[in-house]
A and B are shown apart, each in its own frame.
Chain A
Amino acid sequence: MNMLRRHKPLLILAAVLLCLPLVLPNNFYYDIAIRMAINAIIVLGLNLLIGFAGQISLGHAGFIGIGAYASAILPTHFNWHPLLAMVAGAVGASVVAAIVARPIFRLKGHYLAMATLGLGIIIAIVIKNEATYTGGPDGMPVPALGIGSFSINGEKQWYWVLAALLLFSFWASRNLIDSPFGRALRALHGSEVASQVMGVDVVRYKVAIFILSAFFASLMGSVTAHYIGFVTPNIADFFHSIELVTMVVVGGMASIYGSLIGAVLLTALPQALSTFEGWETVVFGSILIFCMIFMPRGLVPTLAERFGGRGEDA
């Protein structure tokens, strides 16, 4: 019984992912679903950092860029196997995160926002400028992802890959939150001094979750690059970082379901807005402002409370 209750959300998500192909009419919709899943996984990782641990990052697209370009550059210029390149990218992003994290997380609030933002911008500038390897502002093609003669091709195959990744991320995030590590993370958000007194080395935990979210962001950067088959510096820019933070806060900080909902809604939004040619930025900004003023906790926790559910169960 307890087992069933525990895994109910996971089973529901699995069912949705299984049934979705029945209603997706063509590759255009598959494509949107895939992008939603990619964003959802990144946002899950980012929400662990922002929502659960209460630390902001305005430079996460930088880590995505590291992964994407590792998957583009290493196989193209150095003949690495794409999987190895993907892992190398994720490790590289983690190392970058680890180097800056200790000094960064001694900072709070505005300073932390600024430091992460600066980091993201530096990564983006490096990508833009090292044209010999990255192709500069024009970007570069990315080889297909595969093992031996098999490679992942087409929207339908990618859909199943991402469905599996999403399920795993969802499951792992829930596990993490409901573990000694996850409780320490939430406790340092709730009261830093209390968690210290209980034995939580707060800087270590902030650093660990920052590295973890950077690792997953980089992996998903690689996946994005392979899926699209082409990568441009836009993937690492400030606006992309802001998009991801928006998904976190609109869906709901410290809410696993919120991460899914936020990613789904804001990935769909540009498609829905394509008729408003040019107004996307304005709408995006308005949503941010509106959400932060009227439901600062985000969509899912606010609705959950309104309809009697328990907020932190999400």
Chain B
Amino acid sequence: MALLDVENLSIAFGGVKAVQNVSFSVEKGIVYSVIGPNGAGKTTLFNLITGVYTPSEGEIRLDGNSIAGAAPHELALRGMARTFQNLQVCMNMSALENVMVGAHLKLDRNLIKAMLRFPSLARRDDQLRDEARELMRFVGLEAYWNLGANSMPYGALKRLEIARALAAKPRILFLDEPAAGLNSKETAEIDELVQKVAESGITVVLVEHDMKMVMNISDRILVLDYGKKLAEGTAQEVRDNPDVIAAYLGSTV
């Protein structure tokens, strides 16, 4: 059974059908990429799967259980994590705290214990601080661990989102254009990071424009165009698909 199953997923905003009848499944442990031109519906697809939008039609299953229409925080509980194309870092907190929020569901969230700072809670928090710092090192942000998120450069914030998502110890991680706006050196580093994440056993679903990176690291690729599925398969299959070449890759590959 696939980890994630998407069946005939659709959503319309007013009259615009941003995603139409899209179906695909993601096996456990792979890197699955979603590509397509701007406005093809990639981010909308992510928003649907992670519960930010409610689908107009269709079914989404995680481990065979229906999750369509569930709230984002319920999906987090089931092992989903994601990053955002347009940064959603909490600028009112430090970098380290942002990562710590990622572990939210793994912690004792009791209000009274927090106010009275129960020793168990304090110990766990100290431990978490170390883990979060370790995660920041993992994504290459050790230099920033003591800073406020609002004093970090753009490229670092993109990694911070990844570290925060990893802190949740997800089973499936959705990365929405992790390399957008980065230069080629930074892109290569992100490329490497995504592979490291995948090797650690987390299933990765990736939206990305950088074709080199996508072809490099994806086990399977879904091509969207105007909100519809254009093709799906391995990098080679997608590369050779005449529809894809015509619609999208024709000019770049």
Residue ranges of A at the interface with B (Cβ–Cβ < 8 Å): 172-173, 175-176, 178-184, 186-187, 189-191, 193-202, 208, 212, 254, 310-312
Contacts and interface: CB of A to CB of B under 8 A. Distances in A.
Given A194-B84, A198-B76, A199-B73, A180 B164 contact: no
Interface stretch (B60-68, B101-109, B245-253): B101-109
B90 A180 contact: no
Interface string B38-59: 0000000000001110000000
B72 A197 contact: yes
A175 B104 contact: no
A187 B114 contact: no
A180 B125 contact: yes
A197 B50 contact: yes
Contact of A198 (B104, B108, B110): B104
A182 B148 CA distance: 17
A199 B88 contact: no
Contacts of B161: 194
Nearest to B164: A198
Contact of B73 (A181, A189, A200): A200
B89 A183 contact: no
A184 to B, nearest CB: 6
Contacts of A200: 73, 101, 104
Nearest to B168: A198
20 contacts: A175-B116, A176-B114, A179-B117, A180-B109, A180-B121, A184-B109, A186-B97, A190-B89, A191-B89, A191-B90, A193-B84, A194-B90, A195-B101, A196-B72, A197-B73, A197-B82, A200-B104, A201-B71, A201-B73, A254-B92
B93 A187 contact: yes
B106 to A, nearest CB: 9
B10 interface: no
Given A196-B73, A198-B102, A198-B168, A208 B93 contact: no
B20 to A, nearest CB: 24
B94 interface: yes
A312 B117 contact: no
Contacts of A195: 90, 101, 104
B188 interface: no
A244 B71 CA distance: 35
A193 B82 CA distance: 11
Nearest to B148: A312
A183 B105 CA distance: 12
A188 B90 CA distance: 8
Contacts of B73: 196-202
Report whether over half of chain A's contact residues are helix, strand or loop; otherwise say mixed.
helix
Kindly state the interface size class of chain B when it binds its partner: 35 or more
Nearest to A253: B92
A187 B90 contact: yes
Contacts of B152: none
A186 B90 contact: yes
Contacts of A186: 90, 92-93, 97
A172 B101 contact: no
Given A183-B101, A199-B168, A189 B90 contact: yes
Nearest to B75: A197
Given A175-B114, A184-B101, A198-B81, A191 B88 contact: yes
Nearest to A201: B73
Contacts of A178: 125
A199 B110 CA distance: 15
Contacts of A197: 50, 52, 72-73, 75-76, 80-82, 88
B116 A172 contact: yes
A175 B100 CA distance: 16
Contacts of A311: 148
Nearest to B108: A180
Contact of A183 (B100, B113, B117): B100
B91 interface: yes
Contacts of A201: 71, 73
Interface string B138-171: 0000000000110000000000010010001000
Given A180-B108, A183-B100, A194-B84, A189 B92 contact: yes
A199 B92 contact: no
A10 B9 CA distance: 55
B77 A179 contact: no
A197 B84 CA distance: 10
Contacts of A193: 52, 72, 84, 88
B115 interface: yes
Contacts of B77: 199
B16 interface: no
A201 B72 CA distance: 8
